[in-house]
Amino acid sequence: MSNDLRIKIISRAFQRLIGQLDLEDLTALYKAEQNVWHASAHLGINSQIATQECSQTVMREIIAGLSAYKIDRMEQELKVSARELAKYTAEEVTS
């Protein structure tokens, strides 16, 4: 699979996933990931693990707060993207 095709599939999936979130959610995720980066660069392993767990909790809480419809759309987008990536990877192997 060409790198351009992979980028197209993955960027479309991210665009649709991000489209299900509002600015407040995106800001919370960004801040949580910045904390993870800071911990990995400046703190010990225990702090890194705790910060990663906190970031994962933020993501779970945001997803849990979405409507069932939005969660279903996100899940479907992930499935479609995974199938497309698998299809093109399989085609590449058989070529």
For residue 56, pLDDT over 80 is answered with yes
Residues 56 and 77 in one domain: no
User: Residue 30 has what pLDDT?
Assistant: 92
Dihedrals phi, psi of 22, to nearest 5 degrees = -95, 175
- Name the pTM for this structure: 0.69
Q: Which residue type is seen at 46?
A: N
Long-range CB pairs of 73-76 (<8 Å, 24+ gap) are 73/16, 73/20, 74/16, 74/17, 74/20
Segments forming the whole domain that contains residue 49: 22-65
Same domain, 16 and 26: no
Give the number of domains in the chain. Answer: 2
Nearest in space to 40 (alpha carbons), one of 26, 55, 28: 55
Instruction: Tell me the mean pLDDT in the region 77-84.
Output: 94
Express each pLDDT in 18-51 by its tens digit.
Answer: 999 999 999 999 999 898 888 888 878 888 888 8
| 83 plus 61 within the same structural domain | no
Residue 95 has pLDDT above 80, yes or no: no
Q: Give the pLDDT confidence score for residue 74 in this predicted structure.
A: 92
